Structure 1
Amino acid sequence: MKPTTPAAEDYLKTIYAHTEWQSEPITPKALATRLGIAPSSVTEMVKKLAAGGFIAHVPYGPLTLTPAGRLRATAVVRRHRLIETWLVRELGYAWDEVHDEAEVLEHSISDRLLEAIDTHLGHPKADPHGDLIPAADGSTDQVPSILLADAPPGHAGTVLRVSDRDPAVLRSLADAGIGPGSHLTVLDAATVLLPAGAPHPFSPDVAVAVWLTS
């Protein structure tokens, strides 16, 4: 099977993204939840992707990408994140508005246009949320990180990445002037010190959405 359909590409992209910032592999049940579809549909697609050599899977076990699956997944991720970066930098979109647009465009633009966008943007290494943009060969330069929820009091670090899963979280962080590149110091389990020196409370939703340098 060649994963040329949008659905197959979305599966591979989601499996890749799940382990990008942590090491625990994704289960079929978690994959169904992330994609918002029935577990039975996931089972059928997993069988097809495994038969095509794109994922390694044993019944009831977690899903991992094969080298071929990872290469295809990073190609889709590269498209998605370059499009998001282009929409923010060139078309005036806010960072909480780009995900759904990129979901559509990533399956339709040509390779030529994608590379033209990459060149025009100066070959960015990360998208507006701090997610790394894979190179054409699938490689990335991952930096050691720690989730804000796991950072102890006194930890000081630079924001590397903010999950784009919840637009409300993105808007609240934007209102506070927090984004990739912001330097934060953890004061306690619910407060950080902003670059300007002011304490700023954060919610549990924010705590599991922000990654800092470790």
Structure 2
Amino acid sequence: MPATSPAIEDYLKTVYAHTEWQPDAITPKVLADRLGVAPSSVTEMVKKMAAAGLVSHVPYGAVRLTADGTAEALAVVRRHRLIETWLVQEMGYGWDEVHDEAEILEHAISDRLLEAIDARLGRPVRDPHGDPIPRSDGTLERRPTLLLAEASPGHSGAVVRISDRDPGVLRALDEAGIGLDAELTVTDVAAASVDVTIGSRSHTLPRAAAEVIWVTA
């Protein structure tokens, strides 16, 4: 099976994304849940990827990318995030609408078109959700961040990243005027919510929202 097959690309991107914003390696069960496939399918695919030198894995243990696997994953991530950025900036999509479109296009777009899109957009360093866009050489820019749900009262920072996993949360934050680069201050942290101020406005964010927002550390 070629290393550039859509199935392998999806696996590599999912493994990479899992550890991009937190340190715990992904397990086969979580990988199956994220991809919506049976655990037996994950077992077989991980074996093939390990044989190809893309991941390291021991039975029932975590799945980790090798250097080659990381390089392949970053190439897929670059395509996905540039496409999302292009759809928002050039095609009129909302930031809550681009993920599924990019999932399809990332497997079909040519390197030539991707380079043209990158140039057209002015070589962006982040996508509409704040995720860094890898350069063609695999390098990327990353700022020190803190998950809003883990911030203490009094912490001030700019919104760096908002996960696109739940489009409903994105729409709710958009309606509240909370987006990338918004400067906020945490005023209170409770079990079910986090209170913040943005300028003169106060917001009570449910825990589910605070757990998908990253701010400058």
TM-score range, shorter chain: over 0.9
Task: Give 1:78 shift.
Answer: 0.2
Alpha-carbon distance between aligned partners in 2 of 1:38 and 1:146, rounded to the nearest angstrom: 33
Matches within 5 A, 1:30-69: 30-69=30-69
Percent of residue pairs identical:
62
Q: Is the 8 A contact 1:19 1:25 kept in 2?
A: yes
Q: For this pair of structures, how many residues does the alignment match?
A: 213
Task: Give 1:2 shift.
Answer: 2.9
Structure 1 consecutive aligned stretches of length 4 or more whose deviation exceeds 3 Å: none
Alpha-carbon distance between aligned partners in 1 of 2:65 and 2:130, rounded to the nearest angstrom: 23
Residue 209 of structure 1 pairs with residue 212 of structure 2: yes
Alpha-carbon distance between aligned partners in 2 of 1:51 and 1:15, rounded to the nearest angstrom: 16
Q: Is the 8 A contact 1:2 1:52 kept in 2?
A: no
Task: Give 1:92 shift.
Answer: 0.6
Equivalent in 189, 196, 201 of residue 192 of structure 1: 196
Residue 131 of structure 1 pairs with residue 131 of structure 2: yes
Task: Give 1:180 shift.
Answer: 1.2
Task: Name 1:181's counterpart in structure 2.
Answer: 181
Q: Is the 8 A contact 1:71 1:137 kept in 2?
A: no
Task: Give 1:102 shift.
Answer: 0.2
Q: Report the AA paired with residue 77 of structure 2.
A: V
Normalised by the size of structure 2, how large is the TM-score? Answer: 0.96
Matches within 5 A, 1:158-173: 158-173=158-173
Task: Name 2:81's counterpart in structure 1.
Answer: 81
Q: Report the AA paired with residue 39 of structure 2.
A: P
Task: Name 2:103's counterpart in structure 1.
Answer: 103
Q: Report the AA paired with residue 211 of structure 2.
A: V
Q: Report the AA paired with residue 170 of structure 1.
A: L
Alpha-carbon distance between aligned partners in 2 of 1:56 and 1:121, rounded to the nearest angstrom: 36
**Alignment partner of 1:211: what SS?**
strand
Structure 2, gaps ≥5 residues long: none
Q: Report the AA paired with residue 143 of structure 2.
A: V
**Alignment partner of 1:201: what SS?**
strand
Task: Give 1:36 shift.
Answer: 1.1
Alpha-carbon distance between aligned partners in 2 of 1:60 and 1:208, rounded to the nearest angstrom: 28
